[in-house]
Amino acid sequence: MRKDALDRSPRVKVPANIQHTDPLVVSARKSFGKTIIPEEMAELRFAYPEFLPTKEFEHKSPILEQIVREDMIKRRCVLDIPEFYVGSILSVTITDRWASGKISKFVGICIERNGQGTFANFTLRNRVDGQGVEIRYDLYNPVIQEIQVLKLEKRLDDNLMYLRDALPEYSEIPFDFPPEPPRKPGEPIPVNPLQVEMKPWPWTQKWERKNLKGIKKLPNVPDYNYIRTWKHDNDVAKYDLMLEYRSHISEEEQLPIWDQVQKHHNSINENRDLERRKKLIK
């Protein structure tokens, strides 16, 4: 094996006076490290990611996006969609004409969230009778009767599709999983530092290329796979300001969106508190 085969040094030399901690390099959305989004709206970006418009310029339409957001808020007034993240354990009840009682319920861990607007969806994974089962739900589908968060938490990665190639015990969630008490207002979302153990290679995807934090070790991976991974690394992409601009929504564009979402969020919380007080009085 050649000595330079394992050399991970970038081919393009970056000037020494430019550091990755430079605000102009870290994010093109921020101006000298200052953000225009208020602190009370900052968490909404992670709790309601589907409200952000698409990142593809050819598909952007401000009028259509405004109509879609209003439709999403109206649907949320009918269906209580709680806050959840990838790694949370959910219980989803839907209308099923073929099930007994015309209702079907599934419990699983959220391994993925995709889509924008009314096309937003999430995927739950569980093991049923020794077989891995994944169901993708459209978040604003009218057949959904209830979405209940049994355990609210985050994981080390934003995508847990690698659970398909992990050991079975990491995907097993009992259907009688008891719900945890609700989180207090202002309490941070817990992050589960769990690292899963993978099955022997080969896998369904090249996980060694994705720089995942939630995996203990990748066993039995051939050396040439790592060499190919290092050759495909783009060490200078973090300095590309135009790539950063095209792959993110500017904060100036986000501000009116989160202002609209915050008003809806506050009204929903007020209605929930009112319903709780009515139940206590009864």
**Selected residue with higher pLDDT from 144 and 265:** 144
Angle between helices 62-78 and 251-281 (to 10 degrees): 10
**Selected residue with higher pLDDT from 121 and 183:** 121
Q: Which residues pair with 91 in a beta bridge?
A: 107, 148
51 vs 41: CA distance, rounded Å: 13
Which tokens in the block code for residue 77?
Answer: 């007034």
Average pLDDT value for residue range 115-119: 90
CA-wise closest residue to 165 among 198, 132, 195, 134:
198
93 vs 56: CA distance, rounded Å: 33
Least confident of 35-49, 116-130, 166-180: 35-49
pLDDT of residue 227: 66
pLDDT of residue 10: 42
- Average pLDDT of the chain is 81
Q: Which residues pair with 131 in a beta bridge?
A: 128
**Selected residue with higher pLDDT from 28 and 178:** 178
- pLDDT per position as a tens digit, 65-96: 889 999 998 898 888 888 899 999 999 999 99
pLDDT of residue 105: 93
pLDDT of residue 93: 95
Least confident of 104-113, 147-156, 202-211: 202-211
Q: Where are the domains of the chain?
A: 18-281
pLDDT of residue 222: 76
Query: Which residues, other chains included, contact 9 with Cβ-Cβ below 8 Å and sequence gap of 6+?
Result: none
Residue range 18-281, CATH number: 2.30.30.790
Average pLDDT value for residue range 101-105: 91
Q: pTM of the entire structure?
A: 0.78
Indicate the pLDDT class of residue 20, thresholds 50, 70 and 90.
very low
209 pLDDT higher than 60: yes
11 pLDDT higher than 70: no
- Give the helix ranges, DSSP H, for the chain: 23-26, 39-42, 44-47, 62-78, 223-232, 241-246, 251-281
